Amino acid sequence: RGTRFGGAMTEVTREVFGHMPQEEGGGEVEKFTLKSGSVKVEILSLGCIIAALETRGRDGVFSDVVLGFDTLEGYTRKHPFFGAVVGRVANRIAKGRFTVDGKKYQLFLNNGPNSLHGGARGFDKVLWSPQVLPNGVCFFRLSPNGEEGYPGDLQVWVTYTLSGEELAINYRAQTSKTTPVNLTNHAYFNLAGQGSRDIYDHEISIEADSYLPVDNTKIPTGEVAAVQGTGFDLRQPVELGKHLQKFGLDGFDHNFCLQQEQARHLAARACHPPTGRVMEVHTTQPGIQFYTGNNLDGSLKGKGAVVYPKHSAFCLETQNWPDAVNKPHFPSTLLHPGEEYNHTTWLVFSTA
């Protein structure tokens, strides 16, 4: 079955998950399973993908709460970044353009007129080098100077560690030339269990007094708008289905502005009252993109041959603000040589 490594209460195993197609350079994809008493998570060396995440309901039964595929083939075909680490820059860069140190850069446009999640072959589509830790796994890769149009050799480490009911994801990076960096994980959650029809019965709260309005291509307008009195006020828990109806919203795909200091802070909480599953998101990041799976359309067959219709999952992507490289008043995404990019996000699972 794979090799087993024992840690303090967390068991880590590794096995071969499959091989990349030859046109993608071949290469072995491994799956790492991290298991504690209350959480089991499976992570691939392809794109640092969280392929499964099992957590208990109040009845004590484990369910997989992330969308994805049973086999590698699903992940090597086109899919909406299920479970993956996206980069070099998560979210959108307007017109795929930015200027650093007086030099203009043009990225590939893969999202209408914009560049999204690192470009044509971002961090989600490449193999990472794994190193097993006592309670997790660390993935490394070098993103070479010019990859997807970005400047500088960027060394990146993504470390997943599981302790008890808490999954920590730490992102570190160092560069040889000034470059924008914004890393996140794009897991799609449904706390009723992946394959459940929708997320309307979930209660969501986000610790944000303001959010970023966007234009019709999903680029922030530059305004930092107060949530007070709008459908974006999620400071108290709302039942998602009723809330979307009440405010006539088609769903969310927006950055919410969190507190700016680099200490750990609570960003969001999702609760599924029927099963009692609760997930809290804590982070050191200044923003969180709340996305309600608006572009899922039932065309993808996921795990267990279920389909994933619109609004059948949500993402809570901790990150810097979208298009920050072109918005001087947004928190900076620029990483300079000699500095280290270092952010952590914690997913804490419990029952209510």
Residue 91 labeled ligand binder:
yes
Residue 64 labeled ligand binder:
no
| End-to-end CA gap in the chain | 35
**Catalytic residue among 186, 243, 272, 282, which?**
186
Task: Give one DSSP letter per residue of 118-176, joined into a string.
Answer: TSTT-GGGSB-EEEEETTEEEEEEEE-TTGGG--S-EEEEEEEEEETTEEEEEEEEEES
Coil, strand or helix at 96:
helix
Residues linked to residue 157 through DSSP beta bridges, in sequence order: 140, 172
> Closest Cα to residue 98, out of 156, 149, 172, 142?
149
Residue 188 labeled ligand binder:
yes
Spatial distance between the Cα atoms of 83 and 6, rounded to a whole number of angstroms: 25
Residue 105 labeled ligand binder:
no
CA 287 → CA 45, 116, 332, distances in Å? 26, 17, 12
Secondary structure, 3-state, 59-95 = CCCEEECECCCCCHHHHHCCCCCCCCEECCECCEEHH
Residue 59 labeled ligand binder:
no
Residue 150 labeled ligand binder:
no
Please confirm, yes or no, whether 79 is among the known catalytic residues.
Answer: no
What values do phi and psi take at 53, rounded to 5? Answer: -150, 110
The bridge status of strand 203-206 relative to strand 238-239 is antiparallel
Cα three-residue angle 119-122-128, rounded to 5 degrees: 170
Position 108, amino acid: F
Please confirm, yes or no, whether 317 is among the known catalytic residues.
Answer: yes
**Catalytic residue among 54, 203, 207, 317, which?**
317
Position 205, amino acid: S
Q: Which residues are annotated as catalytic? A: 186, 317
Give binding residues as ranges: 91-92, 186-188, 253
Give binding residues for beta-D-galactose as ranges: 91-92, 186-188, 253
